[in-house]
């Protein structure tokens, strides 16, 4: 389930932000420290983190680094009482989605959260389609892979036939099988798939 994770050591701020985001329609989970958040969240969780920069123990910037170290692809929006430029730069460099100063403008915060969520969603979709593509490609026979590569490299059926010393009809039948297995409506789609699979250089 997609959620907004609010992490702040200050009770009043944490609860108020949580209430506001809930009213706005987000599913919200609250944590009083980065450590307790890391303990609770697994790699499978989707959502967006809203974390205070200054916290006892692990601070917001360290949290961003720790998430990327654990390969947890959650976007992080950092919030800070007195943000200075170096701190903001450090946060963004570490990989934070955005950096927002307190007192928080809710439109800015919601925009940042939505951007983060959209980006993860896109990434997830892309990952899913990539996984599917990889599965389809794995179902090709070695001969089909050979012809797939030749098609992707721009060889015509005649050229492929003479290269492999087989009839043009056989080549056409292989091509039809490949297009079907890869669910590619056209040669152009096939070429794009070849690029995404790393078979040919873009």
Partner 1 sequence: MSFVRKELAHPNTTLSPSGTSPAWLHSIATGLSFLFAYVALEWVSFIHEYKGLPVTPWNPGLGVVFALMLYAGARYALVLFLGVLIAEIAVLRTNLNWQFILGIGIIIAVGYGAVAHIARYWLDVELNRLRDVFLLLAAGAVGALLVAGLLGLLLIADAQLNVTDVLVASGPLLVGDAIGIAVMTPLTLRLILRIPHLSMTTLRALAPEVALYVAVVVLFLWFIGLTESESGFKLFYLFFLPVVVAAIRYGLDGACLGLALTQFALVGLLHWHGYDANVFTEFQVLMLVLTATGLTVGVTVNERQQADREVLEVEALLRGKEAEAEQAARFNLVSSMASALAHEINQPITAARALGRAAQHLLHQDDVNRARVDDNLTTMIAQIDHAASVVKRMREFLRRGEPHISTITLRSLIEESLLLIGTEASGKAIRIDVDVAPQLPPVYADRVQLQQVILNLVQNSVDAIAGAGQMDGRIRIAAALYQDPPRVEVSVVDNGPGLTPELAARLFQPLTTSKRDGLGLGLSICATIIQTHHGRLWLQSGAPGATEFRFWLPIQQAT
CA Rg value for the chain? 25
Strand ranges (E), 28-183: 28-31, 47-52, 76-80, 98-101
Told to check if 202 binds partner 1 by CB under 8 A, we report: no
CB contact at 8 A, 34 and 62: yes
Residue 88 or 178: the one with the smaller Cβ distance to partner 1 is 88
Nearest partner of 80 among 64, 132, 35, judged by Cα: 64
- The stretch among 15-23, 37-45, 134-142, 166-174 that binds partner 1 (CB under 8 A) is 15-23
Q: Which of 42, 43, 44, 56 binds partner 1 (CB under 8 A)?
A: 56
Q: Which of 40, 46, 89, 106 binds partner 1 (CB under 8 A)?
A: 106
> What is the distance between the alpha carbons of residues 198 and 175, in angstroms, rounded to a whole number?
20
Told to check if 59 binds partner 1 by CB under 8 A, we report: yes
Residue 45 or 102: the one with the smaller Cβ distance to partner 1 is 102
- The stretch among 88-96, 98-106, 118-126, 174-182 that binds partner 1 (CB under 8 A) is 98-106
Q: Which of residues 148-177 bind partner 1 (CB under 8 A)?
A: none
The answer to whether the Cα torsion of 156, 158, 163, 166 is positive or negative is: positive
Told to check if 19 binds partner 1 by CB under 8 A, we report: yes
* H or E element in which residue 4 lies: strand 3-7
Residues binding partner 1: number (CB under 8 A): 20
Residue 69 or 82: the one with the smaller Cβ distance to partner 1 is 82
Told to check if 20 binds partner 1 by CB under 8 A, we report: yes
Q: Which of 2, 24, 118, 129 binds partner 1 (CB under 8 A)?
A: 24
Q: Please return the burial class of 125, using the count of CB atoms within 10 Å of its CB with bins 0-12, 13-18 and 19+.
A: exposed
- The order of strands in the sheet holding 76-80 is 28-31, 3-7, 47-52, 76-80, 98-101
Residues in touch with partner 1 (CB under 8 A): 10, 12-13, 15-17, 19-20, 22-24, 54, 56, 59, 81-82, 102-104, 106
């Amino acid at each position: 389930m997609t959620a907004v994770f609010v992490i702040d050591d200050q009770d009043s701020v944490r609860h108020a932000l949580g209430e506001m985001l809930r009213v706005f329609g987000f599913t919200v989970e609250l944590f009083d420290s980065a450590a307790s958040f890391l303990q609770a969240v697994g790699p499978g969780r989707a959502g967006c983190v809203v974390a205070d920069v200054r916290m006892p123990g692990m601070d917001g910037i360290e949290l961003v680094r720790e998430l990327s170290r654990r390969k947890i692809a959650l976007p992080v929006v950092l919030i800070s009482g007195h943000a200075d430029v170096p701190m903001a730069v450090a946060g963004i460099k570490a990989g934070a989605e955005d950096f927002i100063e307190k007192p928080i403008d809710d439109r800015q915060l919601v925009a940042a959260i939505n951007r983060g969520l959209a980006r993860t969603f896109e990434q997830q979709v892309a990952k899913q389609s990539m996984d599917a593509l990889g599965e389809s490609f794995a179902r090709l026979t070695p001969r089909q892979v050979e012809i797939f590569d030749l098609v992707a490299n721009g060889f015509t059926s005649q050229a492929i036939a003479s290269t492999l010393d087989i009839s043009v009809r056989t080549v056409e039948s292989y091509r039809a099988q490949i297009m079907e297995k890869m669910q590619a409506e056209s040669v152009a789609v096939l070429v794009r798939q070849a690029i995404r699979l790393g078979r040919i250089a873009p």
